[in-house]
Amino acid sequence: MRIAIVGTELCALDRRGGGLERAVLRWAGALASEHEVVLVSHAPGGRPPKPDRGDPDTVVLERTADLGPALRDLAPDLVHLQNRPQWARHCPSSAAVAVTFHNYPAAWKVRSWPTIRAGAGAVALSAVSRALAEAAADTLGVAPERVAVTPPSIDPAYLDPPPRCAGAVVLSPNRLLRKKGVLDLLEVAGRGPFSDVQFAFADLVSPWVRPTAEHRALRAAVDAVPNAVLFPPPSTAAGLAARYAAAGVVACAVREPEGLGLVALEAQACRAPLVSTDLGGLREATFPPNRCIPADDPDALADALLDGLTSTADRERPRHEVVARFSPAAAGERLLRWVAEAVR
């Protein structure tokens, strides 16, 4: 079977992209074990994708209007869309269409909901977490069982992490955005119990090519806190695994619902203590003894971070849960089953 996997217009389908793009590339690898796979990628900002050796062939789009002609030329048996149910109209009538949701509906960029809801019954649907699947079903007006759960996988580098060498560091490796809780963490950093704790933030602006006004404001906010630092985002998963191994606790203090939360999964695979906020799929990505706290509660955040920094709890259980559910083998098997059902 020939499968065309289509990325979004926000970022090229390569390893320079964000969590969605890297998850899609790992799915592509799993599907390529049994099917012919072609990637269809935009080139935002004039930056075409930069495939790695072993990646499937890639068709590059200059604009979304080119998607229909490109898919007609490819003649796929299945088109797999990400976060863009409205693009089903570009797909050849001879192809089955599947849509996977990685983020909540606001990120789908839908303009005409009645049209999307009317066509939802004709496509296979999945989401990266049960919470997101339920939200997608409610938004699209379909039965909950119509939206399957297809969890993403973590990078293989996190399956064999370096030994723990934890320091007094609160690590925030998410994108440098307010919705990722940067200001909440900076407020906690200024409290007395954390005076000797470093709060380390990834200076990650992807998928933007250049920093926005928000990025610049947050950089200034980090610089204004004595025990807060920015670090260049690691260029490899192994580099980030080393950061997780050295962190006293990893913080996913998001202020908006996450589809799932790859950072949470990666950190736990590396045996790092984790604190997350109870929004969207993050609860499904957080395993005991790690704590999932209410959002907008700085006291709960401070308490959970202190607990993570000082706890001696065994971190093998959350690691085992992550590996069992989100390894490339486990996630790839579930995706293959869903794809088989999508073309029936």
pLDDT in tens, 113-132: 998 998 888 899 999 999 99
For residue 145, pLDDT beyond 80: yes
* pLDDT band per the 50, 70, 90 thresholds, residue 223: very high
Provide the domain limits for residue 112.
2-153+327-342
For residue 48, pLDDT beyond 90: no
pLDDT at residue 333 in the model: 94
User: Residues 34, 132: one domain?
Assistant: yes
Determine the average pLDDT of the residues in 327-334. 94
User: Residues 293, 166: one domain?
Assistant: yes
* Residue 301, CA atoms < 13 Å, CB-side half-sphere: 27
User: Residues 245, 289: one domain?
Assistant: yes
User: Residues 300, 332: one domain?
Assistant: no
Q: Residue 54 contacts by C-beta under 8 Å, 6 or more apart in sequence? A: 29
User: Residues 143, 180: one domain?
Assistant: no
Q: How many domains does the chain have?
A: 2
22, 11 in Cβ contact below 8 A? no
User: Residues 220, 141: one domain?
Assistant: no
Q: Residue 213 contacts by C-beta under 8 Å, 6 or more apart in sequence? A: none
User: Residues 313, 335: one domain?
Assistant: no
- Report the 10 Å Cβ neighbour count for 196: 7
User: Residues 31, 58: one domain?
Assistant: yes
Q: Which residue has the tokens 């709960």?
A: 300
Query: Tokens at residue 195, please?
Result: 């005076």
- Report the 10 Å Cβ neighbour count for 256: 17
pLDDT in tens, 312-326: 888 999 999 999 999
User: Residues 174, 132: one domain?
Assistant: no
* Report field, pTM of the whole predicted structure over 0.75: yes
User: Residues 18, 149: one domain?
Assistant: yes
For residue 150, pLDDT beyond 90: yes
pLDDT at residue 76 in the model: 97
Whichever domain contains 236, its CATH number is: 3.40.50.2000
Angstrom distance (rounded) from CA 170 to CA 189? 9
293, 275 in Cβ contact below 8 A? yes
User: Residues 261, 180: one domain?
Assistant: yes
Length of the chain: 344
User: Residues 213, 267: one domain?
Assistant: yes
Query: Tokens at residue 156, please?
Result: 């293989």
